[in-house]
């Protein structure tokens, strides 16, 4: 497995690749730093995303999860840049409950590329486990609205 880390507007991010697929995006600086062409491209796309020039990532990904989680994560990838969906709306699309959508969101191994930050509650933003939590989610949603 190869990994790179870099500074972003939402803190330090680490991206991991395994066998030609992005398998994780994590907050914090990774202990192993090994660039590959795919990780260089991922970093380039992240820079463009944070500059408002990239609306959808185009990277091969391989998230590991349950069949239900994979179904939820696939649905998240259909939410356009700058838009949001509620936990309830996603539950109606993929099945399950709003709480199960929240659970799948919290287990997302590839945040930002799989945009779990675009899922909100009926009356508030809901939760977010990446970066500084809800402040990071607010930043991402506001940034996307600005560049939409």
Task: Return the structure tokens found at 148.
Answer: 């939409």
- For residue 133, give the CATH number of its domain: 1.10.10.10
Residue 40 forms part of a structural domain: yes
The residues annotated as belonging to the active site are 116
Domain hosting residue 107, numbered range = 67-147
Whether residue 85 is found in the same domain as residue 120: yes
Q: What is the pLDDT of residue 129?
A: 83
- Going by C-alpha positions, the residue among 72, 14, 98 that lies closest to residue 1 is 14
CB-based burial label for 58 (10 Å; 0-12, 13-18, 19+): exposed
What average pLDDT is seen over the chain? 95
Residue 62 lies in a domain: no
The helix or strand, by DSSP H or E, that contains position 118, with its residue range, turns out to be none
16-52 pLDDT, tens per residue?
Answer: 999 999 999 999 998 888 999 999 999 999 999 999 9
Residue 78 and residue 137 in one domain: yes
Supply the pTM of this predicted model. Answer: 0.95
Q: What's the confidence (pLDDT) of residue 4?
A: 97
Q: How many domains does the chain have?
A: 2
Specify the pairing of strand 11-18 against strand 2-8. antiparallel
* C-alpha dihedral sign at 99, 50, 12, 26: positive
**What DSSP state is assigned to residue 114?**
B
In this structure, is residue 8 part of a structural domain?
Answer: yes
Structure tokens at 147: 């560049």
Domain assignment present for 135: yes
pLDDT at residue 143 greater than cutoff 90: yes
> What does the pLDDT read at residue 17?
98
Count of helix runs (H) and strand runs (E) in the chain: 5, 5
Residue 99: enclosing H or E segment and its boundaries?
helix 98-106
Q: How far apart are CA 85 and CA 20, in angstroms?
A: 31
């Amino acid at each position: 497995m190869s990994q790179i880390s870099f500074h972003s507007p939402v803190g330090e991010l680490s991206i991991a690749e395994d066998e030609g697929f992005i398998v994780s995006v994590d907050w914090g600086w990774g202990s192993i730093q090994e660039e590959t062409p795919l990780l260089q491209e991922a970093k380039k796309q992240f820079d463009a995303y944070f500059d408002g020039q990239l609306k959808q990532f185009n990277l091969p990904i391989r998230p590991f999860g349950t069949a239900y989680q994979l179904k939820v994560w696939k649905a998240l990838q259909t939410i356009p840049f700058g838009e949001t969906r509620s936990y309830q709306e996603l539950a109606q699309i993929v099945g399950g409950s709003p709480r199960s959508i929240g659970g799948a969101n919290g287990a997302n191994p590839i945040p930002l590329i799989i945009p779990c930050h675009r899922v909100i509650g009926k009356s508030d933003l809901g939760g977010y486990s990446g970066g500084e939590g809800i402040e990071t989610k607010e930043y991402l949603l506001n940034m996307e609205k600005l560049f939409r």
